[in-house]
Amino acid sequence: MQTIAIQEKIPCLDLRGQHQQIKSEIFTAFEKVYENTAFSGGPFVEEFEKHFAAFCQTKYAVGVNNGTSALHLAMLALGIGVGDEVIVPANTFIATAWGVSYTGATPVFVDCTPNTWQIDASKIEDKINSRTKAVVGVHLYGQPFDVEGVQSVCQKYGLYLLEDAAQAQGAQYKGAPVGGFGELACFSFYPGKNLGACGEAGGITTDNERYYKHLLSLRNHGSMVRYYHDMVGFNMRMGGLEGASLNVKLKYLPEWNKRRREIARRYQMGITNPHLQMQAQPDWADSIYHLFVVTTEDRGELIKYLNGHNIYPGLHYPVPCHLQKAYVDLGYKKGDCPHAEYLASHCLSLPMYAELTDEDVHQVIGVLNSYRNA
């Protein structure tokens, strides 16, 4: 029997290490925002937009107040509204579907594959009808979905492709960064994301100038010239403090993503317990491991065991979108998306953040391997 020394608590995510490391740089950036009173939009947001577009290799980036707004505005920019349908994976965070619902359109949920846990491109065609306008692919947990598989269905039926890249800043599909594969791509800079603002923020990338200009106006009360409103718009600008913090953090993102990949490799090589399954990693996907999700038959037992060893995993996500109460009127039932349902009741997310030490990772692996083998 292996003996495991109990160490300090290891949570699923801890933001303190990262923020201690860059505190003085962030505070200097905040001071500049303060001195310029550039609190809403402004030069610090514009600077971030420029750098983030370059990072994603797209022509444009538009900063907004959060990732949910990014999805909402992206849908509006594509002209989606009442009577339209948009195909969305059942296995994602619910905000992917909110963007559709806010416009009055209907999300149509499609199952994930049983091994990559991403949208199943082969199941999309069955969901298409004359009302279908777009497909949202989600680079879930930081791993790119089957972009070409989904693109080919979109091309065949003349549908828009939108990337939900909220969890995938810096992930690559066939060597190219996510954010430039669809008409538009949406990002979240929620503090817990790989690139998270000190506050709430989001963004949209595109190569299309028409969408870009439309989005600039939509986020700013439908206005490009102050007090002249060309359309019904929203107040969804990114804040200056958020933009300034993102400017600092973007520089560190490649280094942080590299460390996440290193930790993931250790988990992949080190965890040998047959009671756990990991996400399949197709050759074309270079994940940045926003989350490291595993499945197991008896999740409750494993969580208790981990907690007993001071390890606190997360759950992403316990209820698939099609079975959420908010969408009960759409009439989905258990069994409609069996792989997403399996994941919801069997998944757990291992500790994953760049500041985890090698000892922490070793500890997590050791405890997982001793589960049911003790």
Ligand X SMILES: Cc1ncc(COP(=O)(O)O)c(C=O)c1O
Sites of contact with ligand X (CB under 6 A)? 66-68, 92-93, 95-96, 138, 164, 166-167, 188, 190, 202
Q: Which of 306, 350 has the CB closer to ligand X?
A: 350
In the complex, minimum distance from the CB of residue 39 to ligand X, in angstroms, rounded to a whole number: 19
User: Could you give the C-alpha distances from 297 to 235, 239, 323, in angstroms and in order?
Assistant: 45, 44, 21
In the complex, minimum distance from the CB of residue 38 to ligand X, in angstroms, rounded to a whole number: 22
Closest CA to 286 of 182, 141, 73: 141
Q: Which of 188, 369 has the CB closer to ligand X?
A: 188
Identify the active-site residue in 193, 213, 304, 333: 193
Q: Residue number with the shortest CB distance to ligand X?
A: 67
Residue partners of 285: CB distance under 8 A and separation at least 6: 116, 143, 144, 171, 172, 173
In the complex, minimum distance from the CB of residue 221 to ligand X, in angstroms, rounded to a whole number: 20
Q: Which of 87, 276 has the CB closer to ligand X?
A: 87
Task: Give me the DSSP letters along 120-189.
Answer: -GGGTGGG--TTEEEEEEE-GGG----HHHHHHHHHHHT-EEEEE-TT-TT-EETTEETTSSSSEEEEE-
Are the C-beta atoms of 142 and 279 separated by less than 8 Å?
no
In the complex, minimum distance from the CB of residue 325 to ligand X, in angstroms, rounded to a whole number: 19
Q: Which of 95, 153 has the CB closer to ligand X?
A: 95
Alpha-carbon span 144 to 178, nearest angstrom: 7
Alpha-carbon span 10 to 287, nearest angstrom: 22
In the complex, minimum distance from the CB of residue 315 to ligand X, in angstroms, rounded to a whole number: 13
Alpha-carbon span 136 to 358, nearest angstrom: 36
325 annotated active-site: no
10 Å Cβ neighbour count for 177? 21
Closest CA to 96 of 2, 21, 26, 167: 167
10 Å Cβ neighbour count for 323? 18
- Beta strands 172-173 and 176-177 are antiparallel
Q: Which of 138, 350 has the CB closer to ligand X?
A: 138
| Helix/strand/coil for 217 | helix
10 Å Cβ neighbour count for 242? 27
In the complex, minimum distance from the CB of residue 313 to ligand X, in angstroms, rounded to a whole number: 17
Q: Which of 276, 351 has the CB closer to ligand X?
A: 351
Q: Which of 4, 319 has the CB closer to ligand X?
A: 319
CA-angle at 256, arms to 253 and 260, nearest 5°: 130
Task: Give me the DSSP letters along 7-34.
Answer: -S-EES---HHHHHHTHHHHHHHHHHHH
Q: Which of 111, 360 has the CB closer to ligand X?
A: 111
In the complex, minimum distance from the CB of residue 69 to ligand X, in angstroms, rounded to a whole number: 7
| Helix/strand/coil for 87 | strand
| Helix/strand/coil for 292 | strand
In the complex, minimum distance from the CB of residue 181 to ligand X, in angstroms, rounded to a whole number: 16
The catalytic residue positions are 193
